């Protein structure tokens, strides 16, 4: 066997190609199928070509420029593309245009991811940047208090020139950067001030789901940084106490808990969404009703909160369980990257991203499955929403940047330990 044919064979056997080829095949066939529903939909054919191409670019082409974790990229891109597919399939039922918009956001998300990778990879000294980021983030998260629009009960949206955005989603990236920097420098007070400020503003905006995610992320980061179990326990107890206080103090919290316990009590009104989600999952059965079939649009806010129920209805419960496995692998991979980081800032950053994505997934899917009370957060990568998707891709970019630095470090160690001083074989200098 010649050398070139062996090389080609090894390429075919490489795990990244094997996985990405299946993902591309999945979306190509799915978009092709949905494009044939009723009349021929040219948008479906375009998506059948564009989405696999985006997946290929983001997972196979981008890593040519820097070391990257292709598994992470593959999973994140798979979930993003799944969101586009499901939204496009519901568009054909209801006549909306969420799918194409989500595809555009997906492209923007890839750019955001690229920016975040470069930030983590090439910024050596964060000291100046962190203060700028902290001030900007504090201003941005407070903007809805002055110019905010109330959507779905929370005043956490701002509309600029017809484009609505959710600052709390964008601030997630800044929140993690600032917290991780201060904790890595062992400066507790700036860390506390920034965390309390962000959570206080979110509470004022009645964005309870996001506030919960911020809070638990901050506490877990504190534990990851200091290992102080007592303070962490006190923090968690404080959070639980606040939840109990909120239950007795605010009527809407009490109502939400009541709906969670028994949605059929007020099926026509407040319990309608949960009841419909449960019915959608049940009607999908093990194998689903088929792509583009069923009535998922009956569920209120099906494109944001209830997207997991829509997936289960169309593809089945087994498919839904496999989606959860994909999220689990994503989280495990994030923890693996965090564990292998050489610098505390990078380690905390990777751990923060992992915790935040994991929590968000748990909160929304747990809410859909009636495991916990439903809160209005998005399902990472899948739910409709430009800000959310771009923010999640940015978080993946941070994680990817840390993974990239880890690989550089390992290569550096290898070069130094093997005393390789050749110009071509020397790695990039390790970052600070």
Partner 1 sequence: MPDEVYEVIALAARYWFLFLMILIAWRSYRWYTRDRKKYKKRLKLLPDAGYIGELVVTQGDDTVKKGTCLLVNREGVLGYLRNNDVCLPIDGIANRHLWYSFDDTDGLRVEPLRGRMIVADGEELIGKHKHAFLAHGSTLQVGQAKLRLRMFSGFEYAGETNATRMPLDETEESPIADALDGRPHTDPVRRMHEIAAWQALDEEDAEDEATMDFPEKDDTYGDEAYPPEREDEPDRQFYPPEMDDMDEEDEYDDLPPADDPAYASYEPQHTHPVFYPPVMDDEDPPQPDENGEYPPSMYVGNDEAEQAKRVLWDKYLKGGKRK
Q: Which token pair is 302?
A: 């099906």
User: Given the complex with partner 1, which of 5 and 417 has the nearer CB atom?
Assistant: 417
Assess contact for 47 and 31: CB atoms under 8 A.
Answer: yes
Taking the complex as a whole, the smallest distance from the CB of residue 178 to partner 1 amounts, in Å, to 19
In angstroms, rounded to a whole number, what is the distance separating the alpha carbons of residues 288 and 297? 15
CB 348 within 8 A of CB 184: yes
Instruction: Dig out the tokens for 301 from the structure.
Output: 């806010």
Q: How far apart are the C-alpha atoms of 218 and 352, rounded to whole Å?
A: 8
Helix axes 3-13, 15-35, angle to 10 degrees: 60
* C-alpha span between 209 and 230 (Å, rounded): 25
Q: What share of the chain is helix, strand, coil (3-state, %, to 5)?
A: 75, 5, 20
From candidates 9, 10, 36, 252, binder to partner 1 by CB under 8 A = 36
- Which CB sits closer to partner 1, 347 or 376? 347
Question: Strand pairing partners for 164?
Answer: 159
When asked if residue 256 is in the footprint of partner 1 (CB under 8 A), the reply is no
**Smallest distance from partner 1 to CB 354, Å:** 14
416 binds partner 1 (CB under 8 A): yes
Q: CA 191 to CA 98: how far, in whole Å?
A: 38
In the complex with partner 1, the residue whose CB is nearer, 268 or 432, is 432
Identify which range of 16-24, 115-123, 196-204, 358-366 contacts partner 1 by CB under 8 A: 16-24
Contact residue for partner 1 among 302, 333, 353, 364 (CB under 8 A)? 333
Token digits of residue 131: 């203060």
Answer for which of 52, 235, 292, 397 binds partner 1 (CB under 8 A) is 292
| Three-state secondary structure call for residue 287 | coil
**Would you state the torsion angle of the CA atoms of residues 177, 180, 185, 186, taken in this order, to the nearest 10 degrees?**
140
Residues with Cβ within 8 Å of residue 96, at least 6 apart in sequence: 90, 303
User: Is residue 430 involved in binding partner 1 (CB under 8 A)?
Assistant: yes
The contact pattern for partner 1, residues 337-366, with x = CB under 8 A and - = no contact, is: ---x-xxx----------------------
Residue 256 CB, shortest distance to partner 1, in Å, is 33
Binding mask 177-216 for partner 1 (x = CB under 8 A): -------x-x------------------------------
Q: Is 91 in the site for partner 1 (CB under 8 A)?
A: no
Query: Which residues bind to partner 1, rule: CB under 8 A?
Result: 15-16, 18-19, 22-23, 25-26, 29-30, 33, 36-38, 40, 71, 74-75, 78, 184, 186, 227, 287-288, 290-293, 315-316, 318-319, 322-323, 325-326, 329, 332-333, 336, 340, 342-344, 409-410, 412-414, 416-417, 419, 421, 423, 426-430, 432
């Amino acid at each position: 066997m010649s050398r070139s044919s062996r090389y080609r064979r090894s390429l075919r056997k490489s795990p990244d190609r094997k996985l990405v080829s299946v993902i591309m095949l999945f979306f190509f066939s799915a978009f092709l199928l949905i494009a044939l529903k009723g009349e021929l939909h040219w948008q479906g054919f375009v998506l059948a070509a564009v989405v696999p191409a985006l997946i290929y670019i983001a997972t196979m082409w981008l890593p040519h420029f820097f070391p990257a974790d292709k598994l992470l990229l593959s999973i994140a891109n798979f979930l993003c593309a799944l969101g586009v597919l499901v939204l496009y399939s519901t568009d054909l039922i209801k006549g909306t245009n969420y799918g194409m918009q989500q595809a555009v956001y997906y492209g923007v998300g890839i750019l955001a991811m690229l920016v975040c990778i470069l930030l983590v990879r090439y910024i050596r000294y964060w000291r100046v940047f962190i203060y700028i980021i902290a001030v900007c983030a504090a201003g941005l998260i407070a903007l809805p208090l002055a110019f905010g629009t109330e959507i779905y009960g929370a005043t956490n949206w701002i509309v600029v020139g017809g484009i609505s955005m959710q600052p709390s989603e964008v601030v997630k990236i800044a929140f993690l950067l600032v917290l991780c920097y201060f904790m890595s420098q062992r400066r507790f007070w700036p860390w506390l001030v920034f965390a309390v400020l962000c959570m206080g503003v979110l509470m004022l905006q009645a964005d309870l789901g996001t506030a919960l995610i911020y809070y638990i992320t901050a506490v877990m980061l504190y534990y990851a940084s200091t290992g102080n179990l007592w303070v962490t326990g006190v923090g968690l107890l404080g959070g639980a106490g606040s939840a109990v206080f909120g239950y007795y103090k605010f009527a809407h919290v009490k109502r939400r808990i009541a709906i969670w316990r028994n949605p059929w009590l007020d099926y026509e009104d407040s319990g309608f969404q949960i009841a419909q989600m449960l019915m959608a999952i049940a009607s999908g059965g093990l194998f689903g009703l088929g792509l583009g079939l069923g009535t998922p649009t009956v569920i209120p806010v099906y494109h944001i909160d209830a997207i997991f129920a829509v997936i289960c209805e169309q593809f089945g419960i087994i498919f839904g369980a496999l989606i959860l496995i994909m999220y689990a692998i994503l989280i495990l991979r994030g923890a693996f990257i965090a564990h292998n980081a050489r610098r505390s800032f990078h380690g905390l950053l990777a751990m923060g991203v992992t915790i935040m994505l994991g929590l968000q997934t748990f909160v929304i899917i747990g809410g859909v499955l009636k495991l916990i009370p439903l809160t209005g957060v998005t399902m990472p990568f899948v739910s409709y929403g430009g800000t959310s998707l771009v923010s999640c891709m940015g978080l993946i970019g941070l994680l990817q940047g840390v993974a990239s630095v880890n690989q550089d470090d390992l290569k550096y160690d290898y070069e130094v330990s093997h005393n390789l001083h050749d110009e071509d074989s020397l790695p990039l200098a390790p970052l600070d």
